[in-house]
Amino acid sequence: NKLYSSFIERKAKGLKSFAVLIDPDKVTPTGIADLTAKCTAAKVDYIFLGGSLVITNHLDECVQQIKATCDIPVILFPGSPSQVSKYADALFYLSVISGRNPELLIGQHVVSAAAVKMSGLEVISTGYMVIDGGAPTTVSYISNTYPIPSDKDDIALCTAMAGEMLGMKVIYMDAGSGARKPIPESMIHRVASHVEAPIIVGGGIRDAEKAYLNCKAGADIIVVGNAIEKDPSLIKEIADAVHSIPVKL
Ligand code: 1GP
């Protein structure tokens, strides 16, 4: 459990982490090399790899290219049960606990369980919470679930607590890729104050200031995809902001 242990160790020290999300559908081999060079220079902590669709069939190659060009751990963030690659370091085994779609709570897990087990990947049980991002996002459409309203901090908290008590190891709060409105700090703070599991926050984060404020509010790992695709110089800016939070003494 190397990666999960790194989450726990970093959280205990108050160290915040920055993850760059790569969508396999949106990158080329040269694009990957450019991106991983920037991630290495910026000291990015993790690379998350996945997308809601994954139209192309080159997940294995994509992971291998990332691994060949940097030492940053790659964690699969699958949008569907087919997105498993043994070349990655770990896999978020996501249960969409914000929704009431049984397929995404347990159905697809049953379908993919044998393949996941045989892959030998480190499996990180993840309570995945979709939060309303101001307009329907791909994740709310594809998952066929209602997101948690962004002003219902207590619903988010109780959902995260339930996930943690069911044994989920991390809580992933996501406004959805390209969300108009990222998750409010008040909701992150409410969840973080009563949940011990590491908290990943993403969706619609476009600048270093929001990443910093989310960390101050209690997020442990900040994930950014869309904004970085548009402006790769943000990788360094956001990484520096996330890493500027002082460690616990
Ligand atoms: C989506 O949390 C991620 O699942 C990242 O969202 O692409 O909006 O940064 P963005």
208 torsion bin: left (phi>0), alpha (psi -120 to 50), beta (else): alpha
Measured from the CA of 205, which atom of ligand 1 is nearest?
9
2-242 — its CATH code? 3.20.20.390
Banded pLDDT at 56 (limits 50, 70, 90): low
| 22 Cα–ligand 1 center, Å | 9
pLDDT in tens, 226-238: 999 999 999 999 9
Structure tokens at 131: 């939060």
Residue 37: count of CB within 10 angstroms of its CB = 13
| 42 Cα–ligand 1 center, Å | 19
Q: Is the CB of 227 under 6 A from ligand 1?
A: yes
Is 52 annotated as ligand-binding?
Answer: yes
pLDDT in tens, 186-229: 999 999 999 999 999 999 999 999 999 999 999 999 999 999 99
Beta-strand runs (E) in 42-180:
46-49, 74-76, 90-96, 122-130, 170-174
Task: For a ligand 1 pocket test, name from 177, 201, 221 the mutation site with the most ligand atoms within 8 angstroms of its C-beta.
Answer: 177
Task: For ligand 1, atom 5, name the residue with the nearest CA.
Answer: 203
Task: For ligand 1, atom 2, name the residue with the nearest CA.
Answer: 202
126 torsion bin: left (phi>0), alpha (psi -120 to 50), beta (else): beta
Overall size of the chain counted in residues: 249
C-alpha neighbours within 13 Å on the C-beta side of residue 86: 6
User: How do beta strands 74-76 and 46-49 pair?
Assistant: parallel
Q: Is the CB of 51 under 6 A from ligand 1?
A: no
Measured from the CA of 178, which atom of ligand 1 is nearest?
8
pTM: 0.97
How far apart, in whole angstroms, are the C-alpha atoms of residue 196 and residue 194?
Answer: 7
pLDDT in tens, 69-115: 999 999 999 988 888 999 999 999 999 999 999 999 999 999 999 99
Q: Is the CB of 121 under 6 A from ligand 1?
A: no
Q: Is the CB of 218 under 6 A from ligand 1?
A: no
Is 165 annotated as ligand-binding?
Answer: no
Measured from the CA of 174, which atom of ligand 1 is nearest?
2
Is 153 annotated as ligand-binding?
Answer: no
How far apart, in whole angstroms, are the C-alpha atoms of residue 4 and residue 112?
Answer: 21
Residue 22 DSSP label? E
Q: Find the helix or strand (DSSP H, E) in which 201 lies.
A: strand 199-202
Average pLDDT, the chain: 95
Q: Calculate the CA 98 to chain-centre distance.
A: 15
pLDDT in tens, 10-24: 999 999 999 999 999
Side chain identity at 154, as an amino acid letter? D
Q: Find the helix or strand (DSSP H, E) in which 33 lies.
A: helix 29-41
Q: Is the CB of 179 under 6 A from ligand 1?
A: yes
ipTM: 0.97
pLDDT in tens, 152-185: 999 999 999 999 999 999 999 999 999 999 999 9
**Residue 124: pLDDT above 80?**
yes
3-class secondary-structure state, position 19: strand
Structure tokens at 161: 């607590």
Measured from the CA of 172, which atom of ligand 1 is nearest?
2
